[in-house]
């Protein structure tokens, strides 16, 4: 697994898991995988993985119950997810602007993509 040397590894992992949560891979209240499974998957030390979980807990995304495991915070605000999506969208728009697209062109591009997605049989 590739990581950036610039910031602590446990934060990078925490962010990846945060993304998964926000994207809906885990529902609120659902149990995350065990620390060991994550450590094996990301090929990092268990200590790093523990720190990542602590980070997520500090950020309010995760609740850890000793001896049982870590769970997605059931009281996680829906707004946290919304904020994440908004920031992703904003980043996308900025990038398209940098590439020289205008507002209407960006909208058209997005609609095109959504249509293709629907045609492929995926959810819009």
Partner 1 sequence: MREETKERLLLRMRQVSFSYDRKPLLRQIHLDVRPGRILGVAGGNGAGKTTLLKLAAGLLLPQEGTVERFVPEGLCPVSYCMPPGELPGWMTGRDLLAYYRHFFQDFRRQQAEGLLDSLGIPRNRPLYRLSSGQAVLLSLSLGLSRQACLYLADEPLSHIEPALRRDVRRFLLRYMPEESSLLMATHQLGELEYMLDELVILHRHTARQIETESIRSQYGVSAEDYFLAETGRGKPEAGTSGEGQGERREEP
Q: 110 burial class (0-12, 13-18, 19+ CB within 10 angstroms)?
A: middle
Compute the radius of gyration of the chain from its Cα atoms. Answer: 18
Subset of residues 2 to 21 that bind partner 1, contact rule: CB under 8 A: 3-10
What mask of x and - would describe binding to partner 1 in positions 83 to 112, judged by CB under 8 A? Answer: ------------------------------
How many Cβ atoms sit within 10 Å of the Cβ of residue 92?
13
Dist. CA 43–CA 3, nearest whole Å: 11
The overall longest dimension of the chain from CA atoms, in Å, is: 54
Question: Within its chain, how far is the Cα of 64 from the centroid?
Answer: 19
Interface stretch with partner 1, choices 1-9, 61-69, 81-89, 99-107 (CB under 8 A): 1-9
Residue from 25, 40, 58, 118 touching partner 1 (CB under 8 A): that is 40
Tell me whether residue 13 or residue 22 sits nearer to partner 1 (CB atom): 13
Residue from 20, 45, 74, 86 touching partner 1 (CB under 8 A): that is 45
Element (H, E) at 63: strand 62-65
- 39 is a contact residue toward partner 1 (CB under 8 A): yes
- 51 is a contact residue toward partner 1 (CB under 8 A): yes
Specify the residue for token string 């995760």.
Answer: 62
- 1 is a contact residue toward partner 1 (CB under 8 A): yes
Binding site for partner 1 (CB under 8 A): 1, 3-10, 36, 39-40, 42-48, 51, 54
């Amino acid at each position: 697994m590739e990581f950036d040397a610039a910031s602590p590894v446990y934060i990078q992992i925490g962010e990846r898991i945060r993304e998964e949560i926000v994207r809906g891979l885990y529902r609120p209240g659902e149990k995350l995988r065990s620390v060991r499974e994550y450590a094996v998957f990301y090929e990092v030390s268990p200590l790093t993985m523990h720190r990542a979980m602590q980070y997520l807990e500090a950020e309010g995304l995760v609740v850890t119950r000793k001896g049982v495991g870590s769970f997605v915070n059931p009281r996680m605000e829906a707004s946290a997810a919304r904020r994440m999506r908004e920031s992703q969208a904003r980043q996308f728009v900025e990038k398209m602007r940098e590439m020289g697209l205008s507002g209407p062109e960006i909208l058209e591009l997005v609609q095109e993509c959504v249509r293709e997605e629907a045609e492929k049989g995926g959810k819009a």
